[in-house]
Amino acid sequence: MPDRFVKELLSVPTISIRKWLFRAVPFFTLLKESRQPPLLAPPDWLFTSGRRNRFNTRDLHCLYLSEDETTALSEQRRPLVGQDDPTEHPVIFRVEVNLHRVLDLTETIVCMALGLDLGDLEAPWVKARTPTATQILGQVVAMRSDISAIRFPSAAAKESSTVGVNVVIYRDQVASPDKVTFYGRDGKPAQSWPSQRLKGRK
């Protein structure tokens, strides 16, 4: 386990987030990846693939969401690793989050405390042969802290000449009183973290 960031995370300030966050995802891709028997079961809207991404290494399960619909669409339109059909139209849905320990990398003071700069936050990760600084940070947050999520600037929104913010939530770090909830069409909670199958923070 990398030692970078461990000491700094003990004293770095965190924030609380209680709001709706958005995700854009190709519906049939979500069906194919998340469905379990029986085949008529609904998709897992809180599905996590465990694939490597900007703030996680492989097999680290987390959910990437955006603070507005425009940013969510910008993120989905970028070339995605493992996406079968980039022309497939996405669906946009929202998730209610109530998180009490969030690392906010949109704040310069937080980045400075961690020794990160904008180059680190936007560094290419898809073809990187070794974990990037943000992937290492995500690994430490998920396995050696009580932080449940990271808030960070959207590189996809910047490429579209807009300003956007994303939030990555680490599934196994979501423990009561924190909560992540997807609501069904009837307005009732359909899925949520933490769930009974999770053991909470380690």
Distance from C-alpha of 121 to C-alpha of 166, rounded to nearest angstrom? 12
Distance from C-alpha of 133 to C-alpha of 114, rounded to nearest angstrom? 10
**H helices of 23-82, where?**
27-34, 69-77
Q: Are 26 and 85 spatial neighbours (Cβ–Cβ below 8 Å)?
A: yes
Q: Are 46 and 193 spatial neighbours (Cβ–Cβ below 8 Å)?
A: yes
* Closest listed residue to residue 76, CA positions, set 33, 37, 30, 140: 30
Distance from C-alpha of 65 to C-alpha of 39, rounded to nearest angstrom? 26
Distance from C-alpha of 171 to C-alpha of 56, rounded to nearest angstrom? 12
Long-range contacts of range 47-52, CB-CB < 8 Å, 24 or more positions apart?
48/171, 49/82, 51/81, 51/82, 52/81, 52/125, 52/135
Enumerate residue ranges in the chain where pLDDT < 70: 1-2, 35-40, 79-87, 196-202
Bridge partners of 170, per DSSP, are 62
Bridge partners of 183, per DSSP, are 189
DSSP 56: B
Two structure tokens written together for 34? 């998340």
Q: How many CB atoms sit inside 10 A of residue 42's CB?
A: 11
Confidence (pLDDT) at 87: 62
Confidence (pLDDT) at 2: 56
Confidence (pLDDT) at 99: 98
Confidence (pLDDT) at 196: 46
Look-up of token digits 């769930």: 195
Burial class from Cβ neighbours inside 10 Å (0-12, 13-18, 19+) for residue 4 reads middle
pLDDT digits (tens, 9 = 90+) for 102-123: 999 999 999 999 999 999 999 9
Confidence (pLDDT) at 36: 59
Distance from C-alpha of 172 to C-alpha of 200, rounded to nearest angstrom? 5
Confidence (pLDDT) at 31: 77
Bridge partners of 96, per DSSP, are 20, 181
